[in-house]
Amino acid sequence: MSGFKYNLGVVGLGYVGLPLAVDAVSSGLSVIGYDISEKKNNLINNGQSPIEDISNDDLNSALDQGFIATNDEAVLGDVEHIVISVPTPLTDYQPDLTYVKAAASSVGRNLREGQVVILESTTYPGTTEEVLIPEIAKHSNKKPGEEFYVGYSPERIDPGNKTWKFKNTPKIISGINDDSLEKIESFYKSIIDEVVPVSSPKEAEMVKLLENTYRHVNIALINELAILCNMLDVDIWEVVEAAGTKPFGFESFHPGAGVGGHCIPVDPQYLSFKTRQIGQPVRFVELAQEINNSMPLYVCDRVSEFLNNIGKPLKDSKILVYGVAYKPDIGDTRESPANEIIDILVERGSKVDYFDSYVKEFSTDNNKLVSVDQDKNLDKYDMILIHTLHSNSDIESLNKCGTPIFDTTGSKLLENTTKI
């Protein structure tokens, strides 16, 4: 380790950073985590994982092998490789790189010759060279690519995915020069099964945006077709299933209540931001954003129509929103369409509860709710709106309850439902 105390220091111990840290420990590396949240660090150091993808057992195993979390930035001078995995949210629809800049400043203040700095946070092309390196340079006079090494590697974490985890998902890597790339490739090969080098950080930054923009645009296409098919009295779910039998040239996407999570609704906007800077809007992306953002309102309009068809007005109707996580089998509600759906229904006068076995409390923009007990409540509602079905969902109870169901998931397990 050339005089360094730790092989790896991870900056930001959230959905990306903590899995990286724990997997690196399991691969035999000495690892320390740095996060500005003292509350999160205390949880981690006491063996309580703050994210679902890392079990308490896995975390405690890492702690037993020397892993520790701290908010003392001085530790960043004791590590050979620094991976920055901090949030990059949108603020007023603009990329907010506050956390990246703060992390870069902490790195710069403690930078030592020979260190390798890798950004993993999702961002727009050019961030590594135009933001990260200059921010480090404000606090250090060391030359990037010569006295310390820099690159970008997009995270590919898929929360809740039991098959593709950190170690077996191919890892895109890049460096600002050959020496940086060589060191970054050597590091990731020590903890990941397959690495895929690209020619520069800009290409690596663009890879992540392409991956999620591809999904974003195709989900918008199928959502718009779902609206059209409803108007034409065509079953979009049967259409997609039949089209999926084509063995080439087609990939199935499914309609829904919108898009959620921190990637698909957000990442394409980084691309839009960058292209507007050069005077070339990406029309596909912006149209897809418009369509996907409109789906919660469309769902609420369909709910109103659904209730009218069974002789009930939307106002004062008791509605159970079933599942509020943005995808099955996790408790993550970031950017969940359920947020807007619940607020619209409440604003229109409905009495709304929710049930989610993974989410015990849920705060929308305007309402704070606590999950009800599914076993005791299904038959007291005027309708049930299926937003998310988990693998542990009680399908039998749903099918037997007798309450009309509007399903945004297209589940084949549910009987006698109206689908989006």
Catalytic residues: 263
DSSP calls for 49-86: -SSTTS-HHHHHHHHHTT-EEES-GGGGGGEEEEEE--
- Exposed, middle or buried, 408 (CB in 10 Å: 0-12/13-18/19+)? buried
Q: How far apart are CA 64 and CA 41, in angstroms?
A: 16
Q: Is the torsion defined by CA of 109, 141, 112, 85 positive or negative?
A: positive
Contact between residue 205 and residue 128 where contact means Cβ atoms under 8 Å apart: yes
Residues in the chain: 420
Chain Cα centroid distance, residue 349: 32
- The single residue listed with the structure tokens 């509860």 is 353
| Residue 298, both tokens | 């469309």
Q: Is 165 helix (H, G, I), strand (E, B) or coil?
A: coil
